[in-house]
Amino acid sequence: MKNGKPTISVVITCYNYGKYLSGALDSVLSQSLSDYEIVLVNDGSTDDTDKIVRSYLRKGRFVYVKQENKGQARAKNVGILRSRGRFVAFLDADDLWAEDKLEKQMALFDKKEAGVVYSGLRYIDEEGNKLPDQPREGCLAFRSGYVVNYLFMDNFVPFSASIVRRECFEKVGLFDETLSMGIDWDLWLRISVYYKFEYVDEPLLIYRKGHTGQMSKNTEVRHACSDIIMDKFLKANPELLPKEVVRKAYGYTYCNRGYYYRHLDPIKALKYYFRAIKTRTYIVAALKGVVKTVLLNFPIGGNLFGKRKLGG
């Protein structure tokens, strides 16, 4: 500690994830690097979160905030504002860390231009069983350096793998509380304008997938927030990104949405594929998507815009 303050503040927010919380806290308390505090924000949980937290408070190094439910962005901002470290590490209450995560990532902050350091990850299911690795390719490949052009394409930085230099918040602000999803992507984009991102090529985050309540499942809301984030970033930085990058990002986005809706709502899928074609990027992928959507959903000779029930 320096001047009585920890080097790292670990900010954890929890809303009805009491069943996973002990695992998350234990993974922090087991870190090989010990110069940290834990700032835990209970965002109005109605389960046994409060009881679980209180069993940890006597272990020290804890700041516990209990509040009415105000949403993930506000809860994380409260955690940042109550923290004291020169660096802020984020951990969702349902995820876990490898024992040497903080130690290995903090070593990369020797580079003064580094604003965010993150790591690779591996996956577990609701019960903690290991899941197969998922290749990170294309726009989701992990990258280092000044990554704004790549980051505008997609968010490749796992939230619970991140450590942020505090001055980044002073430079670009906190999480946008008007967004219900994608708040980390929005923050990473703002930081990437001024700072480098560094990456530790090891699975130091253990990410839990597929359980009830996981926010990433709400796809419709995620799409709406994604549109807001991209438009807002471009308005704030009108000359920053090459036009080709912007067109490519929208083409990529529309192709992904076309793929998502291919079985759920083929008309909507086709509309997204045609929007991708208009960007003059990902044309081959979009055309293939059009053909597959038609073949999957409309019989030969059928009426594409007839009385066929969609969305079922």
Asked whether residue 210 falls in the same domain as residue 251, the answer is no
pLDDT of residue 298: 85
* Domain count within the chain: 2
Asked whether residue 199 falls in the same domain as residue 253, the answer is no
What end-to-end distance do the CA atoms of the chain give, in Å?
A: 58
- Could you tell me the two tokens for 25? 């806290």
Beta-carbon contacts of 135 under 8 Å, excluding residues fewer than 6 positions away, are none
Distances (CA, A) of 58 to 48, 55, 140, 192, 269: 18, 7, 41, 38, 54
Domain final residue, candidates 155, 184, 217 = 217
SS3 248: helix
Asked whether residue 56 falls in the same domain as residue 126, the answer is yes
Q: 105 in a domain, yes or no?
A: yes
Asked whether residue 154 falls in the same domain as residue 278, the answer is no
Asked whether residue 255 falls in the same domain as residue 132, the answer is no
pLDDT of residue 213: 56
CATH number of the domain bearing residue 58:
3.90.550.10
- Could you tell me the two tokens for 212? 């009830």
41 DSSP β-pair partners: 13, 65
Asked whether residue 203 falls in the same domain as residue 290, the answer is no
Mean pLDDT by 10 residues, the chain (312 residues): 85 96 97 97 96 88 95 98 98 98 98 96 95 94 98 98 98 97 98 98 95 65 96 98 98 97 95 98 97 88 48 34
pLDDT of residue 210: 79
Contact present, 232 and 225 (Cβ < 8 Å): no
| Phi, psi torsion values for 64, nearest 5 degrees | -115, 125
Range of the domain at 116: 8-217
Q: 232 in a domain, yes or no?
A: no
Alpha-carbon span 158 to 120, nearest angstrom: 8
SS3 37: strand
Contact present, 9 and 36 (Cβ < 8 Å): yes
Sheet with 62-67, strands from edge to edge, namely 62-67, 36-43, 8-14, 87-92, 163-165, 114-124, 196-208, 96-97
Q: 236 in a domain, yes or no?
A: no
Domain final residue, candidates 201, 217, 233 = 217
pLDDT of residue 306: 47
The CB density around residue 188, as the number of other CB atoms within 10 Å, is 25
Q: Read off the pLDDT of residues 222-238 as tens digits, 9 standing for 90 and up.
A: 999 999 999 999 999 99
Q: 107 in a domain, yes or no?
A: yes
Residue identified by tokens 């090891």 is 202
- Could you tell me the two tokens for 254? 């529309």
Asked whether residue 25 falls in the same domain as residue 88, the answer is yes
| Phi, psi torsion values for 193, nearest 5 degrees | -65, -30
Q: Say what the pTM is.
A: 0.92
Asked whether residue 36 falls in the same domain as residue 152, the answer is yes
SS3 116: strand
pLDDT of residue 276: 98
SS3 119: strand
Asked whether residue 211 falls in the same domain as residue 255, the answer is no
Asked whether residue 62 falls in the same domain as residue 188, the answer is yes
Asked whether residue 73 falls in the same domain as residue 158, the answer is yes
Asked whether residue 208 falls in the same domain as residue 247, the answer is no
Domain final residue, candidates 182, 217, 252 = 217
- Could you tell me the two tokens for 17? 């994830």
Beta pairing, strands 96-97 & 8-14:
unpaired
pLDDT of residue 3: 67
Q: 182 in a domain, yes or no?
A: yes
Beta pairing, strands 114-124 & 196-208:
parallel
